[in-house]
Amino acid sequence: METLVAPLNGHNTNLTDEGSRLKLQDTLRTAAESTETPHDTMLRLFNAPLQVAVVKAGIDLGLFNILTQSKTPVAVEQIAQDKGADPLFIGRLLRYLASIRLVEETSKDHFAANKSTIAMSDSRVQGAMNYTFNISGPAYQAFPKFCQDHNYQNRTGGKFPWHAGAQTDLDFFPWAKQNPEGLQWFQQLMSVPREGDWLDVVPMADVTEQVLAADPERTVFVDVGGSVGHQCARLTTKLPQLKGHVVLQDLKETIDNVPAIDGVQAMAHDFFTPEPVKGARCYYLCTVLHDWDDEKAIEILKNLIPALGPDSQILIDDMALPNTGVHWWSACLDLHMYTMLGAMERNEDQWHALLDKAGLKALSIETYSPTMRHSIITAVPK
Ligand SMILES: C[S@@+](CC[C@H](N)C(=O)[O-])C[C@H]1O[C@@H](n2cnc3c(N)ncnc32)[C@H](O)[C@@H]1O
């Protein structure tokens, strides 16, 4: 009961398990929304687009970092002076951010950091906000007309709202190759720690021990499309015995910017070409296949098959959605994938069908975040 009423009093609940925490959030949101008049509902949605815009301005100005770094409340006058800005305007920005609980108003014209301010001062979160404001935001603006123009068909291939929003003919990843700032925001977004830990359902310590006992030189883990290597770094930190047996692969533009990770070999590789590392124990694809429609996802998987040894496994780390009651974030990510890439989040039936078409079968689908449904789908040749 204490846990339930704590957030009503503005206290941290310390709920650690994802299922209970998200259930509590949704219950409280539903309760708050049940009190809304039609006018309140309209106001809530009217406010939504402005939030990201003001947060973006706050990031550009360094507001979240200034408040987070200060041990005492900061005067509006001080920030305005340091930034050469108008105190009246800085006060209006901070007043708005306090009203949506992203900063704390401590007294007249004085503000301090709260938990959300600290979150917004993280460079990875700032990259994610820059991504959503500059990159997915314009694509969302193009979404309704795109759907209307295409008669609300579930399109794969061709152009998506992304192209109209960014006014480009390039698909997102080729565009990112030519736009280093956009690529960096995307990489920062990818680096924000996600819900759950896939190592809870894959016994990597045991796997590593068995593999290296039989062949001390063997590659144990290939992170295919692994971005800047945050998963590899986490893995080798948790299991140092894996050092020297992990390969990180991504596009050259990304690999060129990867800081050296102890015990991890970084390799430029396009996953639409045959996998060059042969006979590794695990080929791991984390939130890679959800970027692609079935045709392209099958191509990626088929490029792995010739590299597989007798006991190799493909570990797909993606959402495996339930048939009903999808969490709002999973449903959001699904439409985000459609908007940006013409892709989708898949349910279990869709995963089985996809693997079958690629010449693979699922040995297991193990969910490690019960609400978001992040899961490890272990696949081997049929
Ligand atoms: C959604 S991100 C996932 C990154 C990482 N696995 C993670 O979980 O954070 C998809 C990754 O696929 C990479 N990618 C896109 N096209 C690729 C290609 N043709 N070959 C290799 N990697 C590619 C992107 O650069 C990006 O890092």
Fold classification of 198-381 is Rossmann fold (3.40.50)
**Could you tell me which residues are beta bridge partners of residue 267?**
249
Q: How far is the CA of 314 from the centre of ligand 1 (A)?
A: 16
The residue whose CA has the least distance to atom 8 of ligand 1 is 286
Domain ranges (residues) in the chain: 36-120, 134-191, 198-381
Q: How far is the CA of 285 from the centre of ligand 1 (A)?
A: 9
**Could you tell me which residues are beta bridge partners of residue 285?**
316
Q: How many residues does this entry show for the chain?
A: 382
What is the mean predicted confidence (pLDDT) over 321-343? Answer: 93
CA 319 to centroid of chain Cα atoms: 12
Q: Which atom of ligand 1 is the closest one to the Cα of 227? A: 27
Nearest residue to 131 via CA among 185, 175, 170, 171: 185
pLDDT in tens, 270-286: 999 999 999 999 999 99
Cβ of 268 closer than 6 Å to ligand 1, yes or no, is no
Cα–Cα distances in angstroms (integers) from residue 210 to residues 203, 213, 234, 360, in the given order: 11, 5, 21, 24
Query: In this predicted structure, what is the pLDDT of residue 280?
Result: 98
Q: How far is the CA of 136 from the centre of ligand 1 (A)?
A: 17
Q: Which atom of ligand 1 is the closest one to the Cα of 253? A: 25
User: Is 36-120 CATH 1.10.10.10?
Assistant: yes
Q: How far is the CA of 330 from the centre of ligand 1 (A)?
A: 19
Cβ of 288 closer than 6 Å to ligand 1, yes or no, is yes
- Intrachain domains 36-120 and 198-381 with the same fold: no
Straight-line distance from the first to the last Cα atom of the chain, in angstroms, rounded to the nearest whole number: 50
Q: Which atom of ligand 1 is the closest one to the Cα of 228? A: 27
In which band, very low, low, confident or very high, does the pLDDT at 318 lie, cut at 50, 70 and 90? very high
Sign of CA dihedral 122, 124, 127, 132: negative
Positions marked catalytic: 290
pLDDT in tens, 235-280: 999 999 999 999 999 999 899 988 999 999 999 999 999 999 999 9
Decide: 249 and 225 in contact? Cβ < 8 Å. Answer: yes
